[in-house]
Structure 1
Amino acid sequence: MGKGESVWIGEKDTETITAVQPPLATMVFLHGFGEHINRYNHMFPRFTQANIEVYAYDQRGFGKTGLKNQNLGITGGWKVIKEDITDALKVAKQPGVPLILFGHSMGGTLALRYAVEGSESKNISALLITSPLLSTDRVNDSAVTIGTGLSKVLPNLQFNTKIDIKYVSRDPNECLKYANDPYNHPYWSLKGASDVFRGAKSVLKSGYEKITHPIYLAHGTGDQVTSFDTSKELYERLPSTDKTFRVWTGLFHESK
């Protein structure tokens, strides 16, 4: 198994964990809201042990990137995010090697939207989506509408999402680790948030019709951060002929 290497590319802190060459597949991972890639250091080696090369990066406004640039939660919006995902997929892509796009929570929504709209979508061999932020009981339609309107005037206005950490995991120790992690934060920009929710809405409305990639979608039935029912609904409507819906009975937003 290769050794992880942290490097700077543009404004994004990245992590590349290399498998034995040539790899069975390469994978780009998109983390969720408020967190960072090092939270997944327990998971990446499992992929490399299966000879899958992993490429991940702290998204703009989050993790080391957000702290370094002092722009917590300011993502630049979907146009910038889409370009970042494109860059990551191009870096990870190898001739003749399947390319996987994996997204968790907010990252899951971004991955799904990219599969619909992204310029490298045709080169994605499979999608791996966990607990996507497609809808949530904590944000109503009126709030999204108001936020979207304000984002046109004050796109970088930051607000505290007031994340309820007890719903991250059923394991209190994991919740405590999340709360004490110096690279986690609850801040988002109006444009960043509105673009994610508008993107989720577009996928659910009609965008899903273009998602014909093989897809593995997983969600916990006890998730109180994002909606299990919406993930199930999306899965049932997806036109992909190679799809799997993994139900994590009773589990919260994360599988621990």
Structure 2
Amino acid sequence: MSAVEKPGAPPNFWGDMPEEEYYASERVKNHQERFKTPHGTLFTQSWIPIEGPVKGIVCMTHGYGSDTGWMFQKISIAYAQWGYAVFGADLLGHGRSDGLRCYMGDMEKVAAAPLYFFKAMRDSEAYKDLPAFLFGESMGGAVTLLMYFQDPDGWDGLIFSAPLFVMPEPMKPSWWRLTAYGFLFGLADTWAVMPDNKMVKKAIKDPEKLKIIASNPRRYTGPPRVGTMRELCRVCAFFQENFEKVTIPFLTCHGTSDEVTAPESSTELYERAKSEDKTLKLYDDMYHSLVQGEPDENANRVLADMREWLDARSEKLFRSRTSS
């Protein structure tokens, strides 16, 4: 089941300009296709620099209810402008990929599907010798960390933007509610009946950007599904027990005023991971959406930190591989 786009909605967040013309103006080439995986068919996109050599590849995962298009791709386009080949896939149940809208009753499968696509891109002839990184925003951070645990030796680094590893108390579903639905032996798993905490309003600081993000015709706006909340609680508990198994270089960024994913998600990963190369960036008074939802001055500061971290590691890896 694919998303039904809302009638009358603008075709893109930038307006009516044809996609090819817009991407050319941003100095990137965009490609879209449906990609079959053992877990379902995904809608995928790539953003490739038009000019200059490619420094590495970055595989990006969006957050809950979102997709790889609309304003999430502002991050993808920025990374491509820095010289990286960027790939993204709408998660199962999201955007234009297969699945019941925003149902994620098996997070291991939700992670395995885009990982199948990302590995195909990473190992392709064009990119197999380049540094390869995973990027995850919000719930996409949880999916990204699950991908890392499924394929721990295939990546050179991880980048997180406000990842979901620890749920803030106001976002947690009540134990009694999950237990009550659990007594229905799975019949209620797909029901969209969990409390909706209006996450998008808690995520976006800039009111004009909130209007644009809220107008995404593919954004899921219904109540959370029972199985989705059950699984998010489960994987957050799993991360609490396995942060020490993270040994890869990573950068994690979080706003201190984030009410959607707790800043403790980033601080606990940083404190407990065994990685020798790890970086934590906390941004005072920033909300959840660090790039799409903050005023430009704040968003550019976050992007600059990401670029500095990524360039330093990709250049070091490239030198070591070409000299050996």
TM-score range, shorter-chain basis? 0.7 to 0.9
Q: Would the aligned equivalents of 1:30 and 1:57 in 2 still touch at CA under 8 Å?
A: yes
Equivalent pairs, count: 250
The 1:191–1:15 alpha-carbon spacing in structure 2 relative to 1, beyond 3 Å, is same
Q: CA offsets, 1:48-76, max 9 Å, x none?
A: 1221111001111112336xx6x211235
What's the counterpart of residue 73 of structure 1?
102
TM, length-normalised to structure 2:
0.71
The 1:106–1:147 alpha-carbon spacing in structure 2 relative to 1, beyond 3 Å, is farther
Q: Select between 107-116 and 217-226 the one with higher mean Cα deviation.
A: 107-116
What's the counterpart of residue 269 of structure 2?
234
Q: Which amino acid aligns with 2:230?
A: S
Q: How do 1:1-256 and structure 2 match up within 5 A?
A: 1-10=27-36, 11-19=41-49, 23-38=54-69, 39-65=71-97, 71-75=100-104, 77-93=106-122, 94-116=127-149, 118=150, 120-134=151-165, 135-137=167-169, 138-140=171-173, 142=175, 146=179, 149=182, 153-154=186-187, 155-159=189-193, 161-162=195-196, 163-187=198-222, 188-205=224-241, 207-255=242-290, 256=294
Distance 1:247 1:236 in 2: 14
Root mean square deviation, CA, Å:
2.3
Q: Select between 207-216 and 41-50 the one with higher mean Cα deviation.
A: 41-50
Q: Which amino acid aligns with 1:84?
A: A
Q: Percent identity?
A: 22
Structure 2 runs not aligned, ≥5 long = 1-26, 295-324
The 1:178–1:143 alpha-carbon spacing in structure 2 relative to 1, beyond 3 Å, is farther
Greater Rg over alpha carbons, structure: 2
Runs of 4+ in 1 over 4 A off after TM superposition: none
Indicate the SS of the match to 1:127: strand
Q: CA offsets, 1:133-156, max 9 Å, x none?
A: 221222156268538836851332
TM, length-normalised to structure 1:
0.88
Q: Which amino acid aligns with 1:40?
A: F
